[in-house]
Amino acid sequence: MAGRPYVLSEVTWKAVRGTQYEVAILPWGATEPHNYHLPYGTDNYESAAIAERAAELAWNAGARVCVLPGVPFGVNTGQLDLRLTLNMNPSTQAAILADLIASLAAQGVKKLLILNGHGGNDFRQIIRELLPRHDVFVSTINWYACLESGTFFDSPGDHAGELETSVMMAIEPDLVLPLSEAGDGRAKKFRVRGLRDGWAWAPRSWTKVSADTGSGNPAKASKEKGERYLDAVVRRVADYLIELAAADPDDLYE
């Protein structure tokens, strides 16, 4: 059976050599604990699923997009004391992106979307640094932030809470333990007011923040909520891909 033509790891050279891809999509996640009930690969499963579903819609609409194999390691410098959390420093991410962008540029793929699924990853400054070096337009989407999650969930949370648990229930239900085994995701806040209110920023030391590694209570999560939210996120990302595929990188402003 032939692979999906928009997923690079499934297609052959016979198919690739005859296709002029307009946008490459790079899912990027992390490997870290997600409370007691979700797997370490949660961010990777989510980013890949959303990338592939959005690519399918875009492909069927005529946009020639291609989902690259995802990167399963993210910036986890605040979780290094949590066993088997695997950190990738931002400088390493920059080196990986530089190599991949150079490959795409040499092959005539002029647009790259980084679909990010991990809050510790921030590609904006890396993109600014790499932009002058290659003739590739690079953009990034944090899929969990492209919609107002409060319209879908009672209390979304920001790590292994209601939102992420619902999404995993929808895409990888066999990997989600019963909610009775989950911690409540209670997370401590900064004592310093600016950090607590969000107008100042510093990374969190995770074991000092959360006893169960979660941030947000998953108790009200459900597969139905996850499917409804996923459908909306996938459509938004797909619409972006369709528009991006048709856009001229040299004529992006009006």
pLDDT digits (tens, 9 = 90+) for 37-54: 999 999 999 999 999 999
pLDDT digits (tens, 9 = 90+) for 189-231: 999 999 999 999 999 999 999 999 999 999 999 999 999 999 9
The pLDDT tens digits for 77-133 are 999 999 999 999 999 999 999 999 999 999 999 999 999 999 999 999 999 999 999
- Over the stretch 158-189, which tens digit does the pLDDT of each residue have? 999 999 999 999 999 999 999 999 999 999 99
- Give the pLDDT of residue 2: 77
Q: Over 80: is that where the pLDDT of 1 sits?
A: no
pTM score, two decimals? Answer: 0.96
- Phi/psi of residue 5, each to 5°? -70, -10
CA 243/CA 213 separation, integer angstroms: 38
> Which pLDDT score is estimated for 142?
98
Using pLDDT thresholds of 50, 70 and 90, give the confidence band for residue 57.
Answer: very high
Closest CA to 25 of 51, 47, 4, 63: 51
pLDDT of residue 141: 98
CATH of 8-246, one of 3.40.50.300, 3.40.50.10310, 3.60.130.10, 1.10.357.10: 3.40.50.10310
pLDDT of residue 138: 98
CA 251 to chain centre: 27
- In Å, how far are 2, 23, 128, 219, 222 from 156, measured between CA atoms? 38, 31, 31, 11, 12
74 has pLDDT over 80: yes
Asked if residue 70 lies in contact with residue 44, where contact means CB atoms within 8 angstroms, the answer is yes
How far, in whole angstroms, is CA 110 from its chain's centroid? 21
Q: Residue ranges of the domains in the chain?
A: 8-246
